[in-house]
Structure 1
Amino acid sequence: MHSEGRITGLSDDGLGVLGRSDRPIYVPFAYPGDGVRVKSTRRRFGRLLAGDFELLEPSPLRVNPKCLHFGTCGGCLWQGLKYREQLRLKADLFERITGLSAEIKGSPKIWGFRNISNFIVTTSGIGLKEYGSPLRIVDLVECPVFSKRTRDYLHSLRAFLSETGLKPWNLKKKADDVHYLQVREGKFTGEVMVNLIAHGKPSEEVAEAFGDYFSFADSLYWSVKRNERDDPTGEPELLGGEPFIRERIGDVTYFIHPNSFFQTNSYALPLLLRAVEGFTDGERVLDLYSGVGTFGVWLAKRGFAVEGIEINPFAVEMARKNAELNGVNAVFRVGRAEETPIGDYDTVIVDPPRKGLREAGELLVKSGVERVIYISCNPRAFKLDYENHLKKAYRIEDALLVDMFPHAPHVEAVVKLVRKN
């Protein structure tokens, strides 16, 4: 049965909402004010999700999308929205979820801003997954949010596969050779890292061909994937070039490795770093989920004495390299956040995984630290951490949103918490 009507709002995850509040239909790629006719639905995670739908009357919030894959590719739900409306709606969603009203800063660039892309390589196409379908792939020609060179990267990969006879991954059978192509770009250095993720090591001939087809790369890796999980991970081996590429953010240079997590938007990252810096007071700073030192090294460059704690030993090694590269006073150690004694620090920075702080929240409550800076792209996790733990000892003094993810519903929040008197 067809359902017809006007999109009246957005869900917390950025889908258009159609119909009665007791039985809504959630419509991807639809926005408030759109008149739509939904032709099919399917039940997913306990709610009705529109399949095929027709746009009858476009919302005044709409703009023509730049990417020819928009509407099927799962990467950009909001590319059909005017950018100023994206910012307004992100701030609205954040306030709806957390109860906090916060200023939002837009990304300086909304095209070509991503410094990493993971292209899945399958028998049904090479590119990104369709929205809501783990087994259907959009066979990409371009990706304007990632790079102008996407066409070149994908052309090189297809030619490499054709010459070597390596088989793309079969999603249904969970078998065959090449699973992902990961490409990283240093937006401010121009350096490129290419990492092929495959189920097996290359022969000498294959490794040589790989180097020939991607000769433009400053760093060339082959990662061996030893499981069938559908994610871009493996054990990396350097085949050519430098072991790291560099990204330059303001006056700080960061090394990047295939196993490094680094914020995906190089152009908006300075806004995020300055927001954290602006909320940081005192001299001694604890960076409780320090990763590769993104925040800690930046703050140390500005004269703070920084100590970082991170559970991943490789990330700690990279953080130490980044501190040495920039000649700063920052010490990074391996440790679990929830087991870290919090001593005489002026500010603690937390950028926890998506699940949030959990036990580490109680650790902060029992500490004597005056201020906590909470960084997160998951407002629900922040709300739970605050309501269940941090609220016992801290009040929210300020918050700022930074749009690290143009054309997607997500937003990065920086919240300053100050100990109650």
Structure 2
Amino acid sequence: MPPKGEIKALSGDGLGMLKAGDGIIHVPFTYPGDVVSVGRTRRRFGRRMAADFELIEPSRLRGSARCLHFGKCGGCLWQGLKYKEQLRLKSKLFERITGISAPVKGSPQIWNFRNVSNFIVTTGGIGLKEYGNPLGVVNLSECRTFSKRTPEYLHALRAFLSETGLEPWDLKRKAGEIHYLQVREGKFTGEVMVNLIAHTKPLEEVAEAFRDYFSFADSLYWSLKTEGRDDPRGEPELLGGEPFIRERIEDVTYLIHPNSFFQTNSYALGLLLRAVEGFTNGEKVLDLYSGVGTFGVWLAKRGFAVEGVELNPFAVEVARKNVELNVVNARFRVGRAEETPIGDYDTAIVDPPRKGLREAAELLVKSGVERVVYVSCNPKAFRLDYENHLKKAYRIEDAILIDMFPHTPHVEAVVELRRKI
């Protein structure tokens, strides 16, 4: 008899948990209060996962999903939840993992909010990965979280492939010519960047066709991918338009390039920047893992003297351009966070990669910095950094959550740490 019952709780990564005998079945796209019957299961990441299930009775927490691909596409695990319930559950999950009770601010816009999307181009379809199936691709016709213009972008790509005969990527054979289409939008400027990630350089007639089909783009790149890893990365070559597009968050303008990271939700970014600003004190600020200067340039615009450190030389180059563009008092340099001498700063802003600070946390502990503002979308990494390192010298003073990722279990945390007396 198939396992059947009510979803009572969520896992740390937002999956419904169904008690079955002595174990737990993790059921994607389900929420507390749902009554489900699970068919096939499979082992994945050390857990028993539902490969298919039937929703017998919906939870009162459920709302109406807008996207016709919901339930299969891996992009929006929580789109079936009412938005106010998404926020409540994100706060509860964060508290469960970190022990911190923090208010959560919702995104000002929850549809068409993403400023970047990476559409995988495969023999099985063009779109986004199927949830739980590494070889499955959902052949998209729309994406309600990215852009109203998604059908236009996908139509242009399909017409371009049809005319040129270029081969989509084969996920099983790890072979083919075109692997990803990356599209970035300046939500507040209206500018568009199109970047095709391919395993071959374009012949002149192919490049010309690419320019024709994507003539609406303000910036047009062809990125050469020289290895078979399944990610949207390559060495970009500008084929048309401007080398950067711009995004404007209130009074700050940022340059965006295919090889630089930028927060994916332009509408909620202002909330995140103001949260960081609210926890920043003094005059001198150290911006570790500074990237393109997202936080540093914003704070410099508000009168702080900022020094940023970033490992990626190209990101530092873009950060310096952002300084010039916004005419602010900030310096950015190339360096490893864990090797950075931390001198006389009033506040240190840290926005580490998903793995967390690790060794860099000990430098902060030994420093004289009074206040640390820790920004993270990975609460487990923050907890480890705090419990293993930062707790020796800092106490948690305050925290706020910003929903940068509607319809997913993820949330961005800004935690204020004050040095213990």
Give TM-score scaled by structure 1 length: 0.99
Deviations 1:27-85 (A, max 9, x none): 00000000100011001111110011000000000011000000000000000000000
Aligned mates of 1:176, 1:79 — CA distance in 2: 33
Alignment check: 8 A CA contact 2:103 2:401 kept:
yes
**1:238-279 CA distances to partner (integer Å, 9 max, x unpaired)?**
000000000000100000000010000000000000000000
CA drift of 1:137 comes to 0.3
Structure 1 residues 22, 390: closer, same or farther in 2, change over 3 A? farther
Q: Which residue of 2 aligns with 1:376?
A: 376
CA separation in 2, counterparts of 1:361 and 1:371? 13
Matched with 2:406 is 406
Structure 2 CA distance, aligned partners of 1:157 and 1:368? 53
**Structure 1 equivalent of residue 131 of structure 2:** 131
Give the aligned residue type for 1:59.
S
Moved over 3 A (4+): none
State the shift of 1:116 in Å.
0.1
* Alpha carbons 2:73, 2:131 under 8 Å: kept: yes
Write the distance in 2 (CA, Å) between the matches of 1:276 and 1:63: 32
* CA–CA separation in structure 2 for the residues paired with 1:23 and 1:239: 55
For structure 1, list consecutive stretches of 5 or more residues without a partner in the other structure.
none
AA at the equivalent of 2:115: N
Equivalent residue number for residue 270 of structure 1: 270
Query: Which amino acid in the other structure matches residue 307 of structure 1?
Result: E
Counterpart for residue 362 of structure 1: 362
Cα distance in 2 for partners of 1:47, 1:246 equals: 43
The aligned counterpart of 1:103 is 103
Match of 2:329 in 1: 329
Alignment-derived partner of residue 117 in structure 1: 117
1:4-403 to 2 correspondence within 5 Å?
4-19=4-19, 22-403=22-403
* CA-to-aligned-CA distance 1:205-234 (integer Å, 9 cap, x gap): 000000000000000000000000000000
SS of equivalent to 2:183: strand
Q: 1:21 to 1:416 in 2, by over 3 A?
A: farther
Q: Is this contact kept in 1: 2:3–2:20, CA < 8 A?
A: no
CA distance in 2, matches of 1:106, 1:162: 41
Shift of 1:20: 5.2
The DSSP-based 3-state class of the residue aligned with 2:267 is: coil
Amino acid in structure 1 at the alignment position of 2:399: A
Deviation at 1:123, TM superposition (A): 0.2
> 2: distance between equivalents of 1:386 and 1:47?
28
**Distance in 2 separating the partners of 1:27 and 1:331:** 48
Distance across 2 between alignment mates of 1:264 and 1:90: 18
Residue 19 of structure 1 aligns to a residue whose secondary structure is strand
Query: How many equivalent pairs are there?
Result: 421
Q: Displacement, 1:22?
A: 4.4
What displacement does 1:191 show? Answer: 0.1
Distance 2:21 2:340 in 1: 45
Supply the distance in 2 between the matched residues of 1:368 and 1:177 (Cα, whole angstroms). 53
AA partner of residue 225 (structure 1): K
**TM, length-normalised to structure 2:** 0.99
Structure-1 separation of matches of 2:37 and 2:92 = 26
Q: Structure 1 residues 319 and 21 mapped into 2: Cα distance closer, same or farther (>3 Å)?
A: farther
Letter in 1 for 2:378: N
Q: CA deviation at 1:21?
A: 8.7
| TM superposition shift of 1:200 | 1.1
For residues 133 and 250 of structure 2, the distance between their equivalents in structure 1, rounded to whole angstroms, comes to 39
SS at match of 1:210: helix
Specify the code of the residue in structure 2 equivalent to 1:6. Answer: E
Partners in 2 of 1:194 and 1:139 — Cα distance?
A: 19
